[in-house]
Amino acid sequence: MLRFILMRILQAVPVLFVIASLTFFMVRLAPGGPFTEEKTIPKEIQERIEKHYGLDQPLWKQYLNYMGNLVRGDLGPSFKYPDFTVGELIRRSFPVSLQLGLAALVIALALGLPAGIIAALQKNTLLDYLPMSTAMMGICLPTFVMGPLLILIFSSALGWFSPLGWYTWSDMILPSLTLGLYYAAYIARLTRGGMLEVLNQDFIRTARAKGASESRVVLKHSLKGGLLPVVSFLGPAFAGLISGSFIIETIFFIPGLGRFFVTAAFNRDYTMVIGTVLFYATLIILLNLLVDIIQAWLNPRTRLE
């Protein structure tokens, strides 16, 4: 087990190296630069700025410099926020995105799991059709429609929440609901499918034949196996929550990392773009590892070798 985890972490190093190089050359090959402005600035000033950030050196030398700093854990200064390093910007904005993502995940699990379990137990009744068609609608209703609709209802019409910003805890409700409902729909469908598969197995019939109570059959015997598809969905879901947060943060004007990333790419803030991509990649690799470990714990047949 420990060996498996170590191997995966070691494998991640070359992957991250390739990502860093790929992103580096991708942003550099793109037209435009961080200091190309609408209004032209005097040539000497432009050259001074570029020299200050080492942009006057040949590309391969810049690449080696960047990689050298990266090995020491230095992501460099931001080109667009001159007083901050990329590391500082990530440290400031990521907690906001993390709060949003965790709240959304809690909502998704709290709504999706019970809905899926009930639908599976009451198969082909109203209690199955109703939550499942709602879930299907949830999947087809994108967050960027749901978000404005929720704002329209709960802040414009009812005035319960403020439509934008991230100041008090009540500001968290609409954004995390928008993001969470979408994943609740997915989780409900997967839970239903997984539970149905397990409930048809012989050992469930045996448990029932022994006279085990319904709650014991569900909680003790089927839940662990039935949740497997949900757990394997969590890997992609984390990645989805991250990209979903780009949209939510744009709709609700939340100062999270997602908005910083999109703005940085538009501004050609080279170091900020590479730093953010690396940060996200590391995060996703670690979360996938976590998902694999949980999966092995739930299902001993998937051995970690």
Partner 1 sequence: MTSIHPTEGASLWRDAWRRLARNRMAVFGFVVFTLITLACFGTYGYLWATGGMDATGGKLSQNFLPPSGSHFFGTDDHGRDVFVRVLVGGCISLAVGFLATAVSLVIGVTYGSIAGYLGGRADAFLMRIVDILYALPFVIFVILLMVLFGRNFILMFIAIGAVEWLTMARIVRAQVMALKNTEFVEAARALGYSDMRIIFVHLLPNMLGPIIVYASLTVPAVMMLEAVLSFLGLGVPPPMSSWGVLIKDGAEKIDVYPWLLIFPAIFFSLTLFSLNFIGDGLRDALDPKSSKD
Pair of tokens at residue 171:
């500001």
Of 251, 254, 257, 272, the one binding partner 1 (CB under 8 A) is 251
Closest distance to partner 1 from the beta carbon of 300 (Å): 21
Q: Looking at 242, 257, 272, 298, which residue binds partner 1 (CB under 8 A)? A: 242
Cβ atoms of 298 and 227 closer than 8 Å: yes
Number of Cβ within a 10 Å radius of residue 214: 9
State the burial class of residue 74 (Cβ atoms within 10 Å of its Cβ: 0-12, 13-18, 19+).
middle
Tell whether residue 98 is a contact of partner 1 (CB under 8 A): no
CA 99 to chain centroid, in Å, comes to 11
Closest CA to 46 of 59, 31, 33: 33
Q: Which is nearer to partner 1, 45 or 137 (CB)?
A: 137
Considering CB under 8 A, how many residues would be counted as binding partner 1?
48
C-beta closer to partner 1: residue 197 or 216: 197
Contact 111, 66 (CB under 8 A): no
Name which position in 5, 109, 130, 265 contacts partner 1 (CB under 8 A): 265
Nearer to partner 1, 212 or 290 (CB): 290
* 77, β-bridge pairs: 85
Three-class SS string for 23-69?
A: HHHHHHHCCCCCCCCCCCCCHHHHHHHHHHCCCCCCHHHHHHHHHHH
**Which of 204/212 has CB closer to partner 1?**
204
User: Among residues 19 and 173, whose Cβ is nearest to partner 1?
Assistant: 19
Bridge partners (DSSP) listed for residue 85: 77
Helix axes 86-121, 173-199, angle to 10 degrees: 40
Position among 49, 164, 196, 293 found at the interface with partner 1 (CB under 8 A):
196
| Separation CA 121–CA 155 (nearest Å) | 37
Q: How far is the CB of 21 from partner 1 (least distance, A)?
A: 13
Closest distance between partner 1 and the C-beta of residue 153, in Å? 11
Q: Report if residue 114 touches partner 1, rule: CB under 8 A.
A: no
**Coil, strand, or helix at residue 99?**
helix
Residue 144 near partner 1 by CB under 8 A: yes
Of the candidate residues 149, 160, 206, 253, the single one contacting partner 1 (CB under 8 A):
149
Nearest CB to partner 1, comparing residues 281 and 293: 281
In the complex, least distance from residue 277 CB atom to partner 1, rounded to whole angstroms:
6
Phi, psi of 119 (to 5 degrees): -60, -40
List residues binding partner 1 (CB under 8 A). Answer: 11, 15, 19, 23, 26-27, 29-31, 123, 136-137, 139-142, 144-145, 147-149, 151-152, 156, 192-194, 196-197, 235, 239, 242-243, 246-247, 250-251, 261-262, 265-266, 273, 277, 280-281, 284-285, 288
